[in-house]
Amino acid sequence: MINLFYNYIVKNFCQMKKLHLVLVLLIIFSCKNFDTQNIPKIAIIGLGIESSTFSPAKTVEDDFIVKTGDDLFSWYQISIDSINRQRANWIPTLVGYALPGGIVTKETYNSLVDKSLSLLKENLPYDGVLFDIHGAMSVEGVDDPEGDYIEKVREIIGKEPIISTTMDLHGNVSWRLAKNSDLITCYRMAPHEDAKESDKRAIDNLLERLESGKGKPKYKAWIPVPILLPGEKTSTRIEPGKSLYAKVNPLTLDEGVIDAAIWVGYPWADEPRNHGVVMVTGDQKEAVKSSAEYLAKSFWDVRDEFVFVAPTATLEKSLSLALKSKVKPYIISDMGDNPTAGGAGDVTWTLNKILNKKEFKNVNGPSLIYASIPGPKLIEKAIKSGVGSRVEGYVGAEVDSRYSPPILLSGIVKSIKYGDIHAKTEVVVQSGSVNVIVTKKRKPYHYEKDFTDLNLDPRESDIVVVKIGYLVPELYNIRADWIMALTPGGVDQNLERLDYKRIKRPMYPKDIDMETPDLSARFVPLSDSDD
């Protein structure tokens, strides 16, 4: 009997092995299907841009970098093998981001919103939505675009799904945005070194509330803080911003609080929603209330202490200091036309002053890199003539000519680069001792590679002038010295010169002697309520 059984096993081993394998696979796949059916279904959607209403520039659809489908995951820490990727059935719709610029045309806004909502409709229903915005988008004829946008999302998905909103701290949080968001967070650092961390926090909070079954937070406290300051005065590198934002995370360790955030707001748009905001979410009313009021009071109490993150001066004074300096590179921020804050990026005022300064007329003068100025017509000439040739053509002031006309730039083509995501094509033209970076489309220069790819060495240049405000970490670490020049443009740092007509008043520092505002918590109705 034993021998017969042994023979049977040997004879049928292969068949049994196959059967076993099939059974195992069936179990695996049935479990996988079961898991897919029981994990939350989450959509990703959003639009982001900082838009200056004090700039003549207009932002059109072509200015947005739009990602859909699986390409969208590259913007988040949701890789194929990540834990969070496995915790939900992610439905990427459309997320579009543009360099800060002028007001978004109504046609562009409607087109991008309609495209994203159409994709959102294809995979209904949802358990949650990751709503990725900047918070400072201005649109022709639309007050509070992000509030309008999230309401349109709600109309499609309904009241039940949880929306987790992730934002820039330079954004604005209107009552509409607060009501329709269930979870909401923003960066805690400026410069925004924690951008990815903040997106992950928004994702983690959303997943935790869905997986635990806790659902929407029971309480959302919103406090408007009537302060409007430029980002260059509210950097978390220095006080009081450093200590102010350091108070945020400890509050989230309270079991009654899910998240807390401070928005300094965006000062270069003249809209009623533009001001500071504190918002706290959680399940314990008193903890949410006290945390929000603590942060709001902390923000208000230090309002007089905010200063520029670096020394400031006129352009003439800045150049004088740079020329006298014994260290290099001496970096000058051409702040008024900063394209990362919403400037047109083509104001020629600063470059005109530099090129007409006698110290830079000779090729053997102090070396200076100017980054950058758009000049698509000059670029065409440079491409035809090639590196090493002399080229001449007009650059700048096609969009913002309020302060200085286009410049007739003449010099030697030092390098040409194609394919930049923003600039498209870049050409370095040497005029005297100045290397001018000319772009097909505007581009901010933040990274050392931006320069070295053009055969420029910012570390060895005596002076580097960049159309940005505060320096991002790479340039900050490269600088031997640094000053921020108070130059004109669509993001003028002297807010007193801006002709506000629609912001809520009183507003600090426009109304510097204003009385202490009401900083008590306003509880925002839950998104599924009828209030």
* In a shared domain, residues 300 and 329: no
* In a shared domain, residues 345 and 456: yes
pLDDT of the residue at 31: 40
- For range 395-414, the mean pLDDT: 98
pLDDT of the residue at 36: 54
* In a shared domain, residues 352 and 241: no
For 32-63, the pLDDT digits (tens) are: 333 456 899 999 999 999 999 999 999 999 99
| 18 occurs within a structural domain | no
Percentage of the chain exceeding pLDDT 70? 93
* In a shared domain, residues 245 and 366: no
Where among 277, 307, 337 does a domain terminate?
307
For 268-327, the pLDDT digits (tens) are: 999 999 999 999 999 999 999 999 999 999 999 999 999 999 999 999 999 999 999 999
| 224 occurs within a structural domain | yes
Where among 251, 275, 307 does a domain terminate?
307
* In a shared domain, residues 94 and 205: yes
* In a shared domain, residues 279 and 348: no
| 156 occurs within a structural domain | yes
Give the helix/strand (H/E) hosting 165: strand 162-167
- Domain range for residue 471? 315-485
* Per-residue confidence band for 82, with pLDDT thresholds at 50, 70 and 90: confident
pLDDT of the residue at 37: 65
For 39-82, where are the alpha helices, taking DSSP H only?
none
178 within 8 A of 184, measured Cβ to Cβ: yes
Between 3-12, 60-69, 99-108, 385-394, the lowest mean confidence (pLDDT) is in 3-12
- For range 63-74, the mean pLDDT: 93
CA distance 221 to 237: 27
- Secondary-structure percent of the chain, ordered helix, strand, coil, rounded to 5: 35, 25, 40
* In a shared domain, residues 294 and 418: no
| 27 occurs within a structural domain | no
For 9-34, the pLDDT digits (tens) are: 333 433 433 334 333 333 333 343 33
| 359 occurs within a structural domain | yes
pLDDT of the residue at 8: 34
* In a shared domain, residues 245 and 141: yes
Is residue 487 pLDDT above 90, yes or no?
yes
* In a shared domain, residues 150 and 204: yes
| 109 occurs within a structural domain | yes
Give the helix/strand (H/E) hosting 522: strand 522-523
* In a shared domain, residues 414 and 386: yes
For 498-530, the pLDDT digits (tens) are: 999 999 999 999 999 999 999 999 999 999 998
* Per-residue confidence band for 107, with pLDDT thresholds at 50, 70 and 90: very high
For 113-145, the pLDDT digits (tens) are: 999 999 999 999 999 999 999 999 999 999 999
- Sheet order of strands, 162-167 included: 64-68, 89-98, 41-48, 128-132, 162-167, 183-186
269 within 8 A of 275, measured Cβ to Cβ: no
* In a shared domain, residues 241 and 337: no
In this structure, the strands spanning 89-98 and 219-225 are unpaired
CA distance 398 to 32: 57
Question: What mean pLDDT value characterizes the chain?
Answer: 93
What single DSSP character describes residue 231? G
For 414-444, the pLDDT digits (tens) are: 999 999 999 999 999 999 999 999 999 999 9
* In a shared domain, residues 248 and 341: no
Give the chain's domain count: 2
Q: Match 């510097």 to its residue by tokens.
A: 512
